[in-house]
Structure 1
Amino acid sequence: MRQLYIKQKVLSLSGKFSVKDELENEVYFVEGSFMQMPKTFSITDAARQEVAMITKKVFSFLPTFFVDVHGQETMMIKKEFSFLKARYTIDAAGIEVRGNWWDMNFEVYQNRKLIGAVSKKWFTWGDSYQLQIADDEMEPLLVALVVAIDCAKAAQGAAAAGGGGA
């Protein structure tokens, strides 16, 4: 089972970071748009070919993120209306997330078959996640899923800090 590590750089204005393998080789590169509408995150492979794109919907009552993998929309992450605790849903054909995905500790299944697992690493500077890949073909989707959930969490944190309800 292949393992990847995602460590975001704290205070990076553009949202630029890499995804590394267990030997510390950079496997994917993530770059967020800076001061651009809509906010996007492009994920490229080691050859700098785009494998996924995350786009935050601009005009929506509740935050919504679209994830395209290899040019096709594969999932949507959307905040649900709630009063007490932030709740998001992940909508993707055949994809099921089991566990506490808001705290980044979950497994991902496609048609009931385990394709990957994510766990948050504690005591690190910035957010760090370990991604275990059970199905190599699903690797770009799994990387995009982790980045998209982290984007949704960041948007929620920014809205809470600004006093608005994201």
Structure 2
Amino acid sequence: MFVIREKFFSIGDDFDVLDEHGNKVFHVDGKVLSIRDKVVIEDASGQEVATLHRHLVSLRPTYEIRIGGEKAAEVRKKLFTPFRDKFTIDVPGPDDLEMKGDLLDHEYVIERGGEEVAAVSKRWLTIRDTYAVQISAGVEPLLIIGAVLALDLALERAEDKKEKKDRDED
């Protein structure tokens, strides 16, 4: 299980992804947030192991995850999902994943072919403004953590746009 702090992008600071014992597993560099919404993930020794950035030109929110310099996946919002947001984690080959559930409140699962491979929940923790990511054995943790962070970026960006629109209408 991994522990991630909620709403880190609004501040843009660095933070650590912890294991269930409170040990640092990854460090996320939020200071590199730019117009492309680029985030760098480092291992505990400070080596870059993954990056995530937003595609500037796309019909829907799309984020690319690179692990070890190689493109690992694109995370994008599904176009037609009435009543609920759904995001796809498009990996090379046929094994795409889908994020579904209550994405805004960090209560959702990630599935591959209808099988749950990860779950995200705030209910498992008593620490305020954090959520847990439980990943099944055999699933690349950086792919799942990158996808969860991409979703957070997309939702934060959508919320900022909505707030700006609401202010402009007043």
Distance of 1:11 and 1:77 partners within structure 2: 17
Q: Is the 8 A contact 2:106 2:122 kept in 1?
A: yes
C-alpha deviation, 1:150, in angstroms: 0.8
TM-score normalised to structure 1 length: 0.76
Q: Identity, % of aligned pairs? A: 22
Q: Deviations over 1:11-56 (max 9, x none)?
A: 8632421111122111111112456332201111101122221101
Normalized per residue, which structure has more strand?
1
Matches within 5 A, 1:58-97: 58-80=56-78, 87-93=85-91, 94-97=95-98
Q: Deviations over 1:106-159 (max 9, x none)?
A: 333446654322213477543x21111222551111111111111111011111
Q: Is the 8 A contact 1:9 1:16 kept in 2?
A: no
SS of residue in 1 equivalent to 2:122: strand
Matches within 5 A, 1:19-30: 19-30=17-28
Matches within 5 A, 1:7-26: 7-8=5-6, 13-26=11-24
Q: Deviations over 1:78-116 (max 9, x none)?
A: 34557x867453142313235415243233344665432
Please point out which of 121, 132, 156 is paired with 1:154. Answer: 156
Superposition RMSD in Å = 3.1
Distance of 2:148 and 2:79 partners within structure 1: 22
Taking structure 1 as reference, are residues 137 and 98 closer, same or farther at Cα in structure 2, changes over 3 Å only?
Answer: closer
Matches within 5 A, 1:13-162: 13-34=11-32, 36-80=34-78, 87-93=85-91, 94-97=95-98, 99-100=100-101, 102=103, 103-110=105-112, 114-121=116-123, 125-126=128-129, 128-135=130-137, 138-162=140-164
Unaligned 5+ runs, structure 1? none
Q: How many residues align?
A: 161
Which is bigger in relative contact order (C-alpha 8 A, separation at least 6)? 1
SS of residue in 1 equivalent to 2:140: helix
Taking structure 1 as reference, are residues 152 and 85 closer, same or farther at Cα in structure 2, changes over 3 Å only?
Answer: farther
C-alpha deviation, 1:162, in angstroms: 0.9
SS of residue in 2 equivalent to 1:47: coil
TM-score normalised to structure 2 length: 0.75
